Amino acid sequence: MLGLLPKIEQHFSGISIKAGRYDVTPKDFGIALLILKHCTEDANPDGSLPHARIASLWSALFNVGDISRPFNHHRFTAIRNWLSDHGYVTWVDNSYFPTHFIGSLKVDGKAMKYGLSLEVMDWFREREASLMVTTIQELKVFIRPMLKYPPYNHPAVALDVFIRRSHQRLEEWAYGLAA
């Protein structure tokens, strides 16, 4: 899914908005859209989308090093509002209130209910299919020549070698980043 981030960033490269004193970058738009895509596909049973869910997913991606921008609720709110104003979001209920107390009685909060529009979800499906085709083409280019030579002449063996070499290249790349 993060493979789509450059395409999303490119799409939002001409947009410049601020969230108070915070700049919102195309990368922020990309991260927000990928998280919203996940939350739209895997919605809460009641259809709500708590701000805390967005924050925890964003923070988890940041904490493991998958993204370089930490969560900022000002930026996310500005992104969500911009996306909504431009038809990227479908709203079910935009009302919310935080958990609060009336005396000693705890009143649970209510989250807004929204998700990405069908058009945006279709855009993602088309791009994901394109990424899948690219990956399959890369597999064919790598594996087809290997099938001519034992012991690689079985597709499962060739695929295993491809996966191990890809993993090795990924580790070398990650090691280079850490150095």
Report field, pTM of the whole predicted structure over 0.75: no
Nearest to 87 by CA among 47, 43, 119, 122: 119
Asked whether the predicted pLDDT for residue 18 surpasses 80, the reply is yes
Rounded-to-integer distance, Cα 35 and Cα 4, Å: 12
- Spell out the domain ranges in the chain: 2-126, 132-178
At 70, is the pLDDT very low, low, confident or very high (cuts 50, 70, 90)?
A: very high
pLDDT at 37: 92
Quick: pLDDT tens for 71-130. Answer: 999 999 999 999 999 999 999 999 999 999 999 999 999 999 999 999 999 888 887 776
Predicted confidence band at 135 (pLDDT cuts at 50, 70, 90)?
A: low
Q: Is the distance from CB of 115 to CB of 36 less than 8 angstroms?
A: yes
- What pLDDT is stored for residue 149 in this prediction? 61
For 104, which DSSP code? T
pLDDT at 66 over 90: no
* H or E stretch at 154: none
**Strand 17-19 versus strand 22-24 pairing type:** antiparallel
Share of the chain above pLDDT 90, in %: 50
Token couple for 35: 């998280």
In CATH terms, is domain 2-126 a member of 1.25.40?
Answer: no
Mutual angle of helices 51-63 and 73-85, in 10-degree steps: 120
